[in-house]
Structure 1
């Protein structure tokens, strides 16, 4: 009886060892396919620039212009289709001989000041530029006001009868 139990245990171990190898192989294949699928889905853009200056301008512009889909990424970091189109438009304009200012002017006229990560200071963007400063100034004034108010707490005089009543309540 003891011998038959050991045969069963051995067969179970052998069964799981075969399965463990297969499961390990399957998991490694899954991990490898996930690693390479992200590389395969990445899009690489290659452009042949007419000059070194155009290439530098392109690098600066795609860093300064905002992706309108992602809103928290610049064109260089975004994989959105609109960002790809905007990068291609920037490249084509530089290829046509336009300078950096002309490209920015075109993008702002088409998409508004929001397309710029650092919009110009003008009447329509005053709140954007100076709003945080005004907010912190007002918050500082409020904090100072409340701190001063706590320091100069109002002291009231109490008569002897109220003082005796307070002492009797505290002593009990």
Structure 2
């Protein structure tokens, strides 16, 4: 029977792959009991009426998760979105209006949390300056093209 002796490189590669697998398993571990309780609270939240439930869900669909990339609070499964969804549900159950809940979220997280932010001078600049630059570039190209076509 022939025994193969593993070279040091193979041993290092095996150790490295074992370490990577261990790290991956640790990072995707089962959530702690407190985190699981919070998830259950959000998923099993009870409203006083069906109208309140519809209002809260529609409102949560208009609010963006601050951690996710273009997902609303209903679509996102991030812990932050679950916390915000629970807070929206609690505020609606307390009798707050949609505008009061939006104001609360904007005060806490900024206008990024809204899918349709209010029009302001800052937002106007954000949209207007690139459009103005594009128009100036087109005008410059047009003038340059006209000058090159003129016979001297």
Q: So what's the TM-score if we normalise by structure 1?
A: 0.56
Residue from 91, 116, 119 that aligns with 1:93: 91
1:135 aligned partner: 130
Q: Does 1:155 align with 2:151?
A: yes
SS in 2 for 1:152: helix
After TM superposition, the structure 1 = structure 2 runs for residues 8-47 of structure 1, keeping only pairs within 5 Å, are: 45-47=43-45
- How much has 1:140 moved relative to structure 2? 2.4
Point out the structure with the larger helix share: 1
1:12-62: CA deviation from partner (whole Å, max 9, x where unpaired):
xxxxxxxxxxxxxxxxxxxxxxxxxxxxxxx78233221233122212211
SS in 1 for 2:119: coil
Provide the aligned length of Structure 1 versus Structure 2: 111
Q: So what's the TM-score if we normalise by structure 2?
A: 0.62
Residue from 141, 144, 158 that aligns with 2:139: 144
Indicate how the Cα distance of structure 1 residues 139 and 125 shifts in structure 2: closer, same or farther if over 3 A, else same. closer
2:22 aligned partner: none
How many angstroms apart in 1 are the aligned matches of 2:53 and 2:108?
23
How many angstroms apart in 1 are the aligned matches of 2:97 and 2:127?
33
- How much has 1:147 moved relative to structure 2? 2.2
Q: Runs of 5+ in structure 2 lacking a partner?
A: 1-38
How many angstroms apart in 2 are the aligned matches of 1:143 and 1:68?
36
CA RMSD, 1 decimal? 2.2
1:55 aligned partner: 53
SS in 1 for 2:131: helix
How many angstroms apart in 2 are the aligned matches of 1:52 and 1:136?
45
How many angstroms apart in 2 are the aligned matches of 1:59 and 1:51?
13
Q: Runs of 5+ in structure 1 lacking a partner?
A: 1-42, 157-172
How many angstroms apart in 1 are the aligned matches of 2:110 and 2:136?
35
How many angstroms apart in 2 are the aligned matches of 1:125 and 1:71?
20
Larger gyration radius, structure 1 or structure 2? 1
